[in-house]
Amino acid sequence: MNSKAIAVMVSGHGTNLKVILEAVAAGACPVDVRLVISDKADAGALQIAHDGGVAHVIHLNPKDYPDRALFDAACADLIDQHGCQWIVLAGYMRILSSFFVRRFPRRIINIHPAILPAFPGAKAVEDALAYGVKASGCTVHLVDEVLDGGSILAQSIVPVLDDDTRDSLHARIQKEEHKLYPATLRRMVEDGFSIVGRTVIWNANHSRLDQ
Local confidence band at 163 (pLDDT 50, 70, 90 cut-offs): very high
Paired sense of beta strands 84-90 and 108-112, if any: parallel
Which strand ranges, in their side-by-side order, compose the sheet holding 56-59?
A: 56-59, 32-38, 2-10, 84-90, 108-112, 135-142, 152-159
Domains of the chain and CATH, by start? 1-104 (3.40.50.170), 110-211 (3.40.50.170)
The Cα 53–Cα 99 span in angstroms is: 31
Is 211 a residue whose pLDDT tops 50?
A: no
Q: pLDDT (tens digit, 9 = 90+) per residue, 185-200? A: 999 999 999 999 999 9
Q: Residue 148 carries which DSSP code?
A: T
Active site residues: 112
Local confidence band at 204 (pLDDT 50, 70, 90 cut-offs): confident
Q: Among residues 49, 93, 88, 101, which one has the least CA distance to residue 181? A: 88
* Count of other CB atoms within 10 angstroms of residue 146: 10
